[in-house]
Structure 1
Amino acid sequence: MDEADFMRGRVYGAEHGDPGPRTGRAYAQLVGGPLDGLLLDVTGTFGTGVPESVALPTEIGRYGPGGRAVYAPRPTDARRFDWQGDIR
């Protein structure tokens, strides 16, 4: 995926009327699972480093409403978060 394709992606949690990424923000691409292809805004979220994983609320995962999809940064590319599974 080149930079132009990356910046056309839809941002996790964004409003449907304004789904695109914003200039000056940092994003990671979610890979696999129910949120595959979405961008996660990571601007200033992690303070001193990249988290081991994030659990993102979603209604389209294994557990439906109230469930979460767990993603972890790819060891070789922190701009990609790979799906680890779904939790309640």
Structure 2
Amino acid sequence: MDELEFMRGRVYGADHDDPGPRAGRSYAELAGGPLDGLLLDVTGSDGTEPVDGVHLPTEIGRYGAGGRSVYVPRDPGGRVYDWWGDVP
């Protein structure tokens, strides 16, 4: 199993011992970039996404440790966030 296949369907920020989605939670899929295929827990979101998207810390993006990958919602209230790019 390669790294991309291993990450698909896992929840961003979840413990490696318990990587899957939980019942009763809401998730958005991250599409593209270094976090492609991961799920982002959006439980409790009021359906209004941040204008500038979400900045998610990751060590596997362009800037390595300390860098963040930016994902923006594909459409209002959507459950897919597209990769915009990496920032330091």
**TM-score, normalised on structure 2?**
0.84
**TM-score, normalised on structure 1?**
0.84
Superposed displacement of residue 49, structure 1: 1.7
1:1-88 equivalences in 2 (<5 Å): 9-44=9-44, 46-47=45-46, 49-52=48-51, 53-75=53-75, 78-88=78-88
- Offset from partner CA, 1:5-62 (integer Å, 9 cap, x none): xxx8100000111000000000000000000000000111x34622220000000000
Matches of 1:41 and 1:23 in 2, distance apart?
12
- The letter for the 2-side match of 1:18 is D
Corresponding residue pairs, total? 80
Superposed displacement of residue 77, structure 1: 6.7
Structure with a larger share of its residues in strand: 1
User: Structure 2: where are the runs of 5+ without partners?
Assistant: 1-7
User: Structure 1: where are the runs of 5+ without partners?
Assistant: 1-7
- The letter for the 2-side match of 1:11 is V
Percent identity over the alignment is: 68
- The letter for the 2-side match of 1:39 is L
Matches of 2:47 and 2:41 in 1, distance apart?
16
Would the alpha carbon gap of residues 48 and 10 (structure 1) be closer, same or farther in structure 2, given more than 3 Å must change? closer
